[in-house]
């Protein structure tokens, strides 16, 4: 019997077995299993197939009126029967991804305290910092290989959601399993509860988090250090993903810990990889070489600068010098274009500031700052990327100016959720007469081009991080490097339908995310081997290791463990 169908022994029975989401099969328990585990009477007599259960789940899901109701239903299903949840998700990625992940997960975070019913993951709070080792030590977590952690301060474009931010690690790990194939028993969502500055949360009598102003400074750093140290003691080879930390902490914590354990920040590096990969795919359509691209980024936080850094590396790999590549970036934040000697610059922003002589002579709308529209009119960028969380920031004048200076402007309003996008694809389509190459962070309705529906490319991290996690864990990489994310970006570009036909999409459909993850995982694993970060794996073992790591959601026969 193959490993995938080998029986699993358990000492649970009756209600205890039905209450375990990793083992529960609901009405799919066989007659023999019902005999062995005392399930007769607790279940209706019909023995269902997994396909029948999926059909029943979809019928129930589709009867709800709102996506938030559908989100709550799927979260309940995940907490009741993980195999059914993931089988339903994998078979219906295009329909369910916007509910499990962005944009609906944003509303799920905002309503987390009202939707909370069953425990999932870990809430580690500052009042319990002395108990971290004790909490992590539970045998239930022995098989953990991948952690997604947030402190809830910068949830999508919604800001501080406190304990409600737990919805993001849960959602991300659902994609690790649904798209990347990691077994859910090996994943662990964690919320670091350091308080919140969200007044609505603190005033809400139903708020489930620690009711305290958000802790900052040395006390915050000490708590993060205690957490990382405890994780390393518990799981020395774990993959830890930082998620939705504020820009003051995201890059700083990544740099502090990236060589102490196998870790990365998806907002900084995953966003960079998907944006770079989609840009490389767009070059096949525009015909403008990478070394001739000029990139304007609106939102010069950790995500925006992460994107700039990876595209900059790609430009240098293509032949530009460091200074030549740097001059091609125009980073715009709330105070306008970042220029040398501007006060208040963060360390990660400084490498991408423009020299003052470069902007001398520009025609400006106002004398005291250089706005985004000024940048587009004067610098004439070929690419416009938005990671600001500022809805409508790509106004009609900005987009029309992009279209005026480019035959095929590349415009990526990437902010999530949908309500925070810098522009809608429909508006961009009208303002550029259908010439723009558009990538968005959340799903939008298709456009109408030449009388046919044209899918809008969802330039979202879900195209990258599941494959990165799969590749890293399959070969036991000791760290996650920028080279791995460049490999992931190139693998994504290689999967572009536009490579074969420039009239096609830049990215594969969401329904193909599981196949994309496999391609990205192979590229990441090969890069880890080339760089010496997976010394225990021979190159001819990589494909086999990847296949062995991929979990397919189906029921495993259960047998009673002898006591």
Residues tagged active-site? 101, 172
| Cα 84 from chain centre | 23
- CA 270 – CA 281 distance, rounded (Å): 17
Element (H, E) at 233: helix 217-234
Q: What tokens appear for 265 in the block?
A: 């920040």
Q: What tokens appear for 241 in the block?
A: 């993903």
- Is residue 94 within 8 Å of residue 162, measured between CB atoms? no
Q: What are phi and psi of 71, to 5 degrees?
A: -60, -45
Q: What tokens appear for 556 in the block?
A: 């495993």
Beta bridge mates, 122? 190
- CA 417 – CA 443 distance, rounded (Å): 9
- Is residue 51 within 8 Å of residue 27, measured between CB atoms? no
Q: Which CA distances in Å does 536 have to 170, 325, 528?
A: 31, 37, 11
Tell which residue, 402, 68, 414, has the closest CA to residue 266: 414
- Is residue 189 within 8 Å of residue 166, measured between CB atoms? yes
- Is residue 11 within 8 Å of residue 3, measured between CB atoms? no
Beta bridge mates, 440? 458
- CA 123 – CA 141 distance, rounded (Å): 14
- CA 405 – CA 180 distance, rounded (Å): 40
Q: What tokens appear for 285 in the block?
A: 């359509």
Residues near 138 by beta carbon (within 8 Å), at least 6 away in sequence = none
Tell which residue, 7, 234, 219, has the closest CA to residue 138: 234
What is the 3-state secondary structure of 396-457? HHHHHHHHHHCCCCEEEECCCCHHHCCCCHHHHHHHCCCCCEEEECCCCCCEEECCEEECCE
- Is residue 141 within 8 Å of residue 233, measured between CB atoms? no
Q: What are phi and psi of 332, to 5 degrees?
A: -115, 130
Listed in sequence order, the DSSP H helices in 458-560 are: 465-475, 482-494, 513-530, 542-549
Q: How many residues are there in the chain?
A: 563
- CA 439 – CA 77 distance, rounded (Å): 31
- CA 274 – CA 517 distance, rounded (Å): 12
């Amino acid at each position: 019997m193959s490993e995938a169908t080998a029986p699993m022994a358990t000492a649970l029975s009756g209600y205890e077995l039905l209450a375990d989401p990793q083992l529960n099969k609901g009405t799919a328990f066989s007659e023999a299993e019902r005999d062995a585990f005392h399930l007769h009477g607790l279940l209706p007599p019909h023995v269902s197939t997994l396909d029948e259960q999926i059909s029943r789940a979809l019928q129930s899901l589709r009867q709800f009126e709102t996506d938030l109701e559908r989100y709550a239903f799927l979260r309940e299903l995940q907490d009741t029967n993980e195999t059914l949840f993931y089988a339903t998700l994998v078979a219906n990625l295009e329909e369910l991804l916007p509910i499990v992940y962005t944009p609906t997960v944003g509303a799920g975070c905002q309503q987390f305290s009202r939707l909370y019913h069953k425990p999932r993951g870990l809430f580690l709070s500052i009042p319990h910092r002395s108990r971290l080792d004790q909490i992590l030590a539970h045998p239930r977590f022995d098989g953990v290989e991948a952690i997604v952690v947030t402190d809830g301060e910068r949830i999508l474009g919604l800001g501080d959601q406190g304990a409600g931010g737990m919805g993001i690690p849960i959602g991300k790990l659902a994609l690790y399993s649904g798209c990347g194939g990691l077994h859910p028993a090996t994943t662990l969502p964690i919320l670091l509860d350091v308080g919140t500055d969200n007044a609505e949360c603190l005033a809400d009598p139903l708020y489930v988090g620690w009711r305290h102003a958000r802790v900052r400074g040395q006390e915050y750093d000490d708590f993060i250090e205690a957490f990382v140290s405890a994780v390393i003691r518990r799981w020395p080879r774990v993959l830890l993903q930082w998620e939705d930390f504020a820009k003051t902490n995201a890059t700083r914590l990544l740099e502090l810990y990236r060589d102490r354990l196998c870790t990365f920040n998806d907002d900084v590096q995953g966003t960079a990889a998907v944006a770079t990969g989609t840009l490389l795919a767009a070059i096949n359509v525009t015909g403008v070489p990478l070394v001739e691209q000029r990139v304007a980024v609106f939102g010069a936080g950790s995500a925006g600068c992460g994107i700039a850094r990876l595209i900059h590396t790609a430009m240098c790999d293509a032949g530009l010098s460091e200074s030549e590549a740097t001059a091609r970036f125009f980073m715009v934040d709330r105070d306008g274009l970042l220029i040398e000697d501007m006060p208040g610059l963060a360390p990660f922003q400084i490498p991408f500031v423009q020299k003052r002589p470069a902007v001398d002579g520009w025609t400006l709308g106002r004398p005291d700052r250089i706005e985004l529209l000024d940048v587009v009119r004067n610098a004439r960028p070929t690419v416009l990327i938005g990671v600001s969380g500022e809805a409508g920031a790509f106004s009609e004048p900005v987009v029309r100016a992009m279209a005026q200076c480019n035959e095929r402007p590349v415009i990526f309003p990437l902010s999530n959720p949908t309500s925070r996008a810098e522009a809608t694809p429909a508006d961009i389509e009208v303002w550029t007469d259908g010439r723009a190459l558009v990538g968005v962070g959340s799903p939008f309705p298709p456009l109408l081009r030449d009388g046919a529906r044209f899918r809008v490319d969802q330039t979202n991290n879900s195209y990258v991080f599941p494959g990165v996690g799969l590749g890293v864990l399959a070969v036991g990489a000791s760290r996650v490097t920028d080279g791995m994310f460049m490999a992931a970006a190139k693998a994504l570009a290689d999967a572009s339908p536009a490579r074969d036909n420039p009239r096609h999409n830049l990215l594969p459909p969401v329904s193909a995310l599981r196949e994309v993850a496999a391609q990205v995982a192979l590229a990441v694993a090969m890069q880890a081997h080339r760089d010496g970060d997976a010394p225990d794996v021979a190159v001819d073992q990589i494909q086999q290791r990847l296949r062995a790591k991929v979990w397919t959601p189906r029921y495993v026969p259960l047998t009673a463990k002898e006591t």
